[in-house]
Amino acid sequence: MISPLVIRELGRADYVPTWEAMQALTAARTPETPDELWQVEHPPVYTLGQAGKPEHVLRDIGIPLVKIDRGGQVTYHGPGQAVVYLLLDLPRRNLKVRELVSRIEQAVIDLLAEYGIVAERHDGAPGVYVGPAKVAALGLRIRNGRSYHGVSLNVDMDLSPFQAINPCGYAGMPVTQLKDLGVARTLPQATADLTRHLVAQLEKTQ
């Protein structure tokens, strides 16, 4: 039997130390290491994925840019955004990468359905969308069958920093958030709701 997921609440934490802690946990894993979900909110930061193109950062508005080791292009993290990192042993959960991505997206879709909002995937553009607008972004790194990084859901934040980038590499992509969709949930409430749906997806049988 797979051990229960460990949920860690990190509060507001700087991006780089959190990333380094994910790398350290992943590197030190043994077959007995429990899987963890980390709930966190970051100060303003842009992150550029491994194959990310710097030209997707359109202008410097004073927000730091960190080149990191997940997949995907550039995205923004900031106050009012729910971030959950998934530190998982995929073989132990009998998960392939594509299925993990699908389950993360489904968790967000189910969460928004609970809020009365129809959300969907877009082919070739990981994440979750309401109409044309992106509400949740995801990016993962898999090392020796173990995942880290995860998913971010826009809850109640200043969306203007997204205008200084091509979100996830798509020029002009609109971005939305729960507040603008009429959902009155605080960040802790939305983070807890998202985590609950992620746990449901990760603990269901094949």
User: Residues for the chain: how many in total?
Assistant: 206
**Residues carrying an active site annotation:** 168
Strand pairing report for 125-130 and 81-89: unpaired
Report the binding-site residues for substrate.
70-77, 137-139, 150-152
The residue among 123 and 27 whose pLDDT is bigger is 27
Is residue 118 packed enough to be buried (19+ CB in 10 Å), middle (13-18) or exposed (0-12)? exposed
**Domain residue extents for the chain:** 6-203
Binding region: 70-77, 137-139, 150-152
Per residue in 180-201, pLDDT (tens digit) is 999 999 999 999 999 999 999 9
Please give the model's pTM, rounded to 2 decimal places.
0.96
pLDDT at 35: 97
Does residue 206 surpass a pLDDT of 70?
no
Domain 6-203: give its CATH architecture.
Answer: 2-Layer Sandwich (3.30)
